[in-house]
Chains A and B, each alone.
Chain A
Amino acid sequence: MALWARQGSRWCCLLQAARAAGFPRRPRSCGSPAQACRGFAPLALLPSRNEVLPWRLRACRHVSVGSCAPPDGAKDGSFSSPKSNLPSPAKQEQAKAETLPDLSAEILYEDWDDIPPSSALEEISEEEAVQIIAEPLLPLQSSTLRDYVDHSETLAKLVHLGVDLSQVEKRQKAGQLLLTLDFEKDIRKILLFLKDVGVEDNQLGPFLTKNPYILAEDLEALETRVAYLKSKKFGKGEIAQMVSRAPYLLLFSVERLDNRLGFFKNELGLSVKKTKDLVIRLPRLLTGKLEPVKENLQVCQIELGFQHSEIQQIVFKTPKILTASKKRLRQTFDYLHNIMGIPHHMLTRFPQVFNSKLLRIKERHMFLTFLGRAQYDPAQPSYISLDQLVSLPDEVFCTEIAKASIQDFEKFLKTL
């Protein structure tokens, strides 16, 4: 149609002007690309143009996207949630269409006699084809952060810090969270807070990999929690250590932390100072589930037959026993008590045997039995202490304890 043909020329000129300007880098909400859109937005008003409208707006969006996607993203904010932002340019242009009907009316009737416009289906010459820059659009939905890393300054800076994005995106909603945050506004505050608490610089990356959700926390809440810990007389260095080793610690509210500390104090029956010491050495206790800990304590008491005081001693020396697997505990205890014949009070003195590998204990015990040196009673001569049995490396074990060469040990192992 002639009318349509003539109006299209206006768009064609504007497009060429934009190209000539070399896609100036300006935010989408202002500048020439928007003007280009404004120029033919009034065409939307003409009823017979409806079928052309989507095409024009799409072209407008292409132009604006093409001009606003530099790698050193000054507009990461606009790209950080592509799902919600991409529909908005269309709305923007439509809004502008409604606000400027009068201006465009003149432009409309000015170019009746211009040259016919080009349609998208028209063939263009090779040079023109080469000049069209069509950047691939950001995917609206993606299951990896890889697609957005190039366009998002936040993600790029996090990678510089040492955050492992492939681990983060495996967690629920963490990837979405990172995309919606802005580095300057939100993340920087929290990073400074963490440094204040005492987390080392090189630890920040692994910390955030394990706990990206802290970036969404409220800064005041975090400070309240640290203040609570300080009020419980945890020293600054101790708090730093706890936070580094148990990244989820600061996500717990004050009541929850209080409950957990109380739980350990009551269940174990230790003094406040000892409970604190325990928690500092194994901060995982505060962030992990409480049911397995209760069950482990039951196992120690009922199945393994330790007295309450003995359990207290063991737990204070090796808190890891509270989080160890019950099956492994039972198997190790069974071998130590029934086959090696070690009584409870000896096990209480050396609870580190529960942490070592059962196979190691078995091999070394069998070797000592073979040599006739398996003597674990301190009252008798040539006594071998349990902690030496498990903690020494192979060579030292062979020469000092077993008084045999390591080749003999290997030959013996091959006969098992």
Chain B
Amino acid sequence: PRGGGAQGGRCGLTPTLVSVAVRGPRFRRLKIGAGHRLDVKASGVFVLGIGHGNKLLTDLYNCHLTKVYTVGGLFGKATDDFSDTGKLVEKTTFDHITREKLERILAVIQGTNHKALLMHSNIDMKTQEAYELAVKGLIRPMGKSPPIITAIRCLQLALPEFQLEIHCLHETQQYLRKIVHEIGLELKSSAVCTQVRRIRDGVFTVDDALLRTQWNLQSIQNAIRDCQLKVKRELEKTLG
């Protein structure tokens, strides 16, 4: 996975004027914590916390913010682990698939997941506040729950390849691959997942993310500074 936006409380913002050879490295023994998991085959935004930032990581976890993924799939094959590197189980035709059919399936998925969302949020749907929250789109489960997809749409379809954008909560990347497999089954064909990329994790987006070539002290400090405000605002809004 590519580098992610890092956030932490303690970072010296004064530039290092004295050379490392005299004072030694500025930061030794940093405690680094990881945010939501990203498995080996996936890529995208991966949030890390440094030092005091680890506490903020826990708070962010308790906010239960949605994550957005770009999931790429391929019709016509089915494998044992739902990805394109697994053992081939079957091959099928896919010429009958149209965009309309795909969007119908996606709507069904979104509907069932919405019901699950409301159920796990433990809100009494008959109250006025519940209605208002639902209108604003602020309902979400604030505790443990199975994976829930809050929004799913098709970005492009060029048979046999297709690309989806999925907003979800409490998911694992393998769950997303399974969704792709199930979409294939629903369309009376089969599908494997070629790419899972996280483009957003709560308040952190791909634009905040640091590339491998940017994994140095200055960039990390800048990234922390840029994200500090966003994180604080989100935490205040959700946790109060």
* Residues in chain A within 8 A of chain B (CB atoms): 394, 410, 413-416
Contacts and interface: CB of A to CB of B under 8 A. Distances in A.
A27 B197 CA distance: 75
Contacts of A416: 2, 43
Interface of B: 2, 43, 197, 206, 209, 211, 213
B211 to A, nearest CB: 6
12 contacts: A394-B213, A410-B211, A410-B213, A413-B2, A413-B211, A414-B2, A414-B206, A414-B209, A414-B211, A415-B197, A416-B2, A416-B43
B6 to A, nearest CB: 16
Given A394-B213, A410-B213, A416-B43, 6 more contacts: A410-B211, A413-B2, A414-B2, A414-B211, A415-B197, A416-B2
B12 to A, nearest CB: 26
Nearest to B3: A414
A279 to B, nearest CB: 36
Nearest to A414: B206
B222 to A, nearest CB: 15
Contacts of A413: 2, 211
Nearest to B206: A414
A393 to B, nearest CB: 10
Across the A-B interface, the 9 shortest Cβ-Cβ residue pairs: A414-B206, A413-B211, A410-B211, A416-B43, A414-B2, A414-B209, A394-B213, A414-B211, A413-B2
A144 to B, nearest CB: 22
Contacts of B213: 394, 410
A394 to B, nearest CB: 7
* Chain B contact residues, majority secondary structure: mixed
A413 B197 CA distance: 12
A416 B43 CA distance: 7
A416 B70 CA distance: 11
A362 to B, nearest CB: 12
Contacts of A415: 197
A394 B212 CA distance: 12
A212 to B, nearest CB: 27
B5 to A, nearest CB: 12
A410 B206 CA distance: 11
A302 to B, nearest CB: 26
Nearest to A406: B213
A112 B41 CA distance: 93
Contacts of A414: 2, 206, 209, 211
A415 B209 CA distance: 12
A415 B197 CA distance: 8
B133 to A, nearest CB: 34
Nearest to B213: A394
Contacts of B2: 413-414, 416
A224 to B, nearest CB: 42
Nearest to B43: A416
A46 B213 CA distance: 83
A414 B211 CA distance: 7
B43 to A, nearest CB: 6
Contacts of B211: 410, 413-414
A4 B213 CA distance: 82
Nearest to B209: A414
A414 B2 CA distance: 7
A52 B58 CA distance: 69
